[in-house]
Amino acid sequence: MQLFRASIAHFPTQTSNFEKDIVIFKDGGLLVDNKHIVDIGEFSQLSSRYPAVEVVDFSGKWILPGLIDSHLHYPQTQSIAHYGEQLLSWLENYTFPTEMQFADEAHANTIAGIFLNQLLKNGTTTGLVFTTVHKESCNALFSAASQLDMAMIAGKVCMDRNCPSPLQDTAQSAQQDCANLIKTWHNKGRNRYALTPRFAPTSTPEQLAALGELAQQYKDVFIQTHLSENLDEIAWVKQLFPNAAGYLDVYDQFNLVRERAVFGHGIHLNEDEWARLGESNASIAFCPTSNLFLGSGLFDMASAKANDVHVALATDVGAGTTFNMFKTYGDAYKVSQLRHAPICPLEGFYLMTQGAAKAHALDHEIGNLNAGTVADFIVVEPRFDELTALRIDQNAEFDDVFFALSILGDDRAIAQTWVSGRCSYKKPV
């Protein structure tokens, strides 16, 4: 066993009262045995309770739960930061050409490794990830994550129309490939499978129906797709599905709106769609850097709260501009400022830890530092350069530390990332 000493912050339970329910230990202790957390509390109490245990001293730093990124695309690791497009032209000019390269299994393996390294160096220990239409790309990501014993939720992208022919599957092949991938990877180790139609315009009704059958057969698999990101996209969906009551209803008609369904973006939703999301216990992945970069719009957090819709933060790499979840909250704060309803720092922290874990029904394993959960945690160095040393007082409260790092920080703030009780990343000295 190891006893880690540092300042510690986490949310042990689901909450909407962030100031009241956050637990902070200024001189805290986290006891880890192999891959699980055994105890948490004041360091003085834990060191007395476990006098013979090895102490790992991170005094002056913060220990936080491993961060959760609820929507991103690992094939787009190499197409991040291209200039000047909105959603549909972005897909055509950058996304689809990049994803064609993943027919090469060796290429998929290489990018999977780079992608996971980017997550770890930014403190992210769990992602909800889109692969490509090639089942080999899914195998590559799950295989790489398994070597790290890293919690990964991913799925083969399904598209049988309105995309280049090398990226098309069929309703039948998508269903068969997904069924095989579920049997191979879902609940094997720390892997979970996500049924992944890219978005309604690239799937025929037949394909959505085939995926809906799998969703009914496998009740605990995830569902991930895109929803109401762009106004041109919404108009296209209305043209393609004239009998649907709206964009969300397209998915709902095929049994794809339920718990563990995670819809990326959800910027332009009507009142009925908000209500249905809340009723179904589905989630929205709020992707502020991508929404700003592609000019898609400003997410409406107030409507989400009014309808009790789970919201989790997400980078949406590669239209998203960073792998860093702190900076992602920084842009969420700016979006919410423009909405005249700023998201406070503690809520931002919640949306990438316990709030995300609760949305995905995984809070028994990740998102917090409760005894019995898996030891996924990060060690944060707040004062990593002369500017942050100037801005962040050594005795600053956690909300001020977190907010300052969300504006000024980057991967240099992550000193170490621990996955399943093992140090999987250490910042170079």
Q: What is the domain range of residue 384?
A: 2-66+368-426
Quick one: 227 and 255 in the same domain? Answer: yes
Element of type H or E holding 102: none
Q: Can you read off the two tokens belonging to residue 125? A: 């220990």
Quick one: 192 and 286 in the same domain? Answer: yes
- pLDDT digit string (tens) for 231-284? 999 999 999 999 999 999 999 999 999 999 999 999 999 999 999 999 999 999
Is the residue at 30 inside a domain? yes
The span from the CA of 424 to the CA of 119, in Å, is 11
Structurally, the chain folds into a number of domains equal to: 2
Quick one: 24 and 74 in the same domain? Answer: no
Quick one: 155 and 268 in the same domain? Answer: yes
| CATH number for the domain harbouring residue 175 | 3.20.20.140
- Answer with the one of 297, 323, 349 that is the final residue of a domain: 323
The span from the CA of 283 to the CA of 223, in Å, is 10
Percent of the chain with pLDDT over 90: 95
Residues forming beta bridges with residue 227, ordered by sequence position: 265
Amino acid at 138: C
pLDDT of residue 89: 84
- pLDDT digit string (tens) for 7-29? 999 999 999 999 999 999 999 99
- pLDDT digit string (tens) for 93-147? 888 999 999 999 999 999 999 999 999 999 999 999 999 999 999 999 999 999 9
- pLDDT digit string (tens) for 161-180? 999 999 999 999 999 999 99
Residue 35 CB partners (closer than 8 Å, separation 6+): 149, 374, 375, 420, 421, 422
In order, the DSSP letters of 323-392 are S-HHHHHHHHHHHHHHTT-PPPHHHHHHHTTHHHHHHTT-TTTSSS--TTSB--EEEE-S--SHHHHHHS
Is the residue at 204 inside a domain? yes
Is the residue at 417 inside a domain? yes
Quick one: 51 and 89 in the same domain? Answer: no
- pLDDT digit string (tens) for 74-85? 999 988 888 877
Average pLDDT over residues 368-390: 98
Quick one: 211 and 81 in the same domain? Answer: yes
The span from the CA of 327 to the CA of 288, in Å, is 10
Quick one: 54 and 175 in the same domain? Answer: no
| CATH number for the domain harbouring residue 408 | 2.30.40.10
Is the residue at 44 inside a domain? yes
